[in-house]
Amino acid sequence: MKKYWLIGLALVLTFAVAIPVAANQIIKIYVNGQELKSDVAPQLVKGRTLVPIRAIAEYFGKEVNYDPKKNAVTITGKTNLELTSVISQEWATAGHANTKNPLAYAGPRDNCTPCHSGNGLERYGTDKPYTPGTAIKTNPIATDKAYTDKDPKNAKYTFMFDPYEADMPSPIGCATCHSGPGANILKTGVVPAKLNIFSGGTAEWKVGNGDALCYTCHNGRRDVAKILKDWTTPGATKANTYPHHGWGALVTGKGGMEYSGVKYAQTTAHQSLGCIGCHMSKTKDGYVSHDFKPKIETCTKCHAGMTEFTNGGKLKKELEEKLVTLEKLVLAKIPGAVKIGLDNSTAPAVDKDGKRIPAANISSAEALVGAYNYALVIQELENGGKGVHNPSYAKALLDESIKKLQ
């Protein structure tokens, strides 16, 4: 049962509340110029103006509780300003907050900006999209503004910006997800068609909840069905392709390279939790965590006694054994291959000199499927979720790949 306590004018002034106090007037509460409604009206008692504390405290983000045994009211929680500060500190430690070099990893390519630059998503679909690629220059006057990727693999790429024309990227911050297109995706639960790689960019994906915003970027960036179709269609161009760091490709159960007519198992409990359910748990202060670190308490609701995410390493060991088997089978199908490639410059396989074997020289579509799924799962083990995002799907992808190659 809610208890409404009345508070004297002196404390109200601490909350910056303005109250008209004439005895013949209806008393109203104003906070920062806005009228504050309450189902308990302010009162004049013996010449003093009293207002309901719950309405004011909750306006400032506090939680109000009444203890009938002690006949006491307690006010707890952080103010909205305090919460903003805490969330900002958490965000600064998360992988999304690349405040020093937005787009440094992806480079200023227009199709990369919605996920790698704050203003890329904030302006997506507007009449002024963020397209830094149009400002790339080879003009000599821009040489003092050249940026060269520190990664040796990308050292040959030097991006020149005309300082008078370049529209520089911004870090991914609060506005990226909570305003404009990001906020709309979060609210509607719908991934826009052009950002839905699982449909080849032709249809919206009605996820149904806020995970749609996560899947907008974390989805693998590869239309696996089209890639496999091209590999099996005479005369079509075969792509040298790999999964683009797409842990969402596993958790969604949509991004592995699948054989038609095969039903791939799914860990539906993990899918129902989604990204937000695992990575944005509610804290004791009542706000949603923004450090994106999963909490073991989420797992123990189903896995009693679990103390760490890999469950003693059993899942990781099982997947690693399957990966060893799959790698041997794939390499046996590709003449000259000594290693499966895991990135854009080495996939699907490399020779003893470390050079990529061109897709045109590979006749086995089964080798492509195996190499792709190998890369997807090993990325998950080494950089993503230790295999826990969708264990059943990861195992099924490896098992089916092995079966087709044996």
For the segment 247-253, the average pLDDT, to the nearest whole number, is: 89
- Return the amino acid letter for 95: G
Rg (CA), the chain: 28
d(C-alpha 42, C-alpha 54), whole Å: 12
How far CA 365 is from CA of 198, 348, 356, in Å, comes to: 20, 11, 17
> 192 preceded by cis ω (within 30°)?
no
Give yes or no for residue 18 having a pLDDT over 50. Answer: no
Residue 20 in tokens: 């008209």
Q: Is 70 exposed, middle or buried (0-12, 13-18, 19+ CB in 10 A)?
A: exposed
Of 262, 366, 378, residue with least CA distance to 321: 378
pLDDT score of 168 more than 90: no
What is the three-class DSSP state of 31? strand
pLDDT digits (tens, 9 = 90+) for 357-376: 999 899 999 999 999 999 99
Model confidence at 112, pLDDT cuts 50, 70, 90, reads confident
Task: Give the sheet arrangement for strand 29-31, strand by strand.
Answer: 17-18, 29-31, 34-36
Q: Which has the minimum average pLDDT: 70-79, 259-268, 343-352?
A: 70-79
- The answer to whether residues 297 and 99 touch, using CB atoms and an 8 Å cutoff, is no
Angle, CA 271 vertex, CA 267 and CA 275 arms, to 5°: 135
E strands, 19-110, are: 29-31, 34-36, 43-45, 48-52, 63-67, 72-76
> Which residues make beta-bridge pairs with 243?
none
Q: Which of 24-28, 139-143, 182-186 has the highest mean pLDDT?
A: 182-186
What tens digit of pLDDT does each residue of 81-106 get? Answer: 788 888 888 988 887 887 667 776 67
When mean pLDDT is compared over 66-75, 168-177, 292-301, 322-331, the highest value belongs to 322-331
Kindly indicate the confidence band of residue 8, based on its pLDDT and cuts at 50, 70 and 90.
very low
Q: What is the 3-state secondary structure (H, E, C) of 340-361?
A: ECCCCCCCCEECCCCCECCHHH
Pull the structure tokens for residue 294.
């999963």
Q: What is the C-alpha to C-alpha distance for residues 166 and 135, in angstroms, rounded to an integer?
A: 5
43-85 residue pLDDT tens: 888 878 888 888 888 777 677 888 888 888 887 777 777 888 8
Q: How many CB atoms lie within 10 A of CB 354?
A: 11
- When pLDDT is averaged across residues 337-361 and rounded to a whole number, the result is 94
Instruction: Please check the confidence at residue 296 and state whether its pLDDT lies above 70.
Output: yes
Domain extent listing, the chain: 6-77, 84-174, 219-405
Question: What per-residue confidence (pLDDT) applies to 9?
Answer: 35
Residues 6+ apart with CB under 8 A from 201: 193, 194, 195, 223
Do the beta carbons of residue 284 and residue 251 sit within 8 Å? no
191 pLDDT more than 70: yes
pLDDT attached to residue 16: 39
Which conformational region is residue 125 in: left (phi greater than 0), alpha (psi within -120 to 50 degrees), or beta?
Answer: left
Query: What's the whole-number mean pLDDT along residues 119-143?
Result: 73
Is residue 290 predicted with pLDDT exceeding 50? yes
Instruction: Look at the alpha carbons of 14, 17, 22, 25 in this order and tell me if their dihedral is positive or negative.
Output: negative
Contact 302, 269 (CB under 8 A): yes
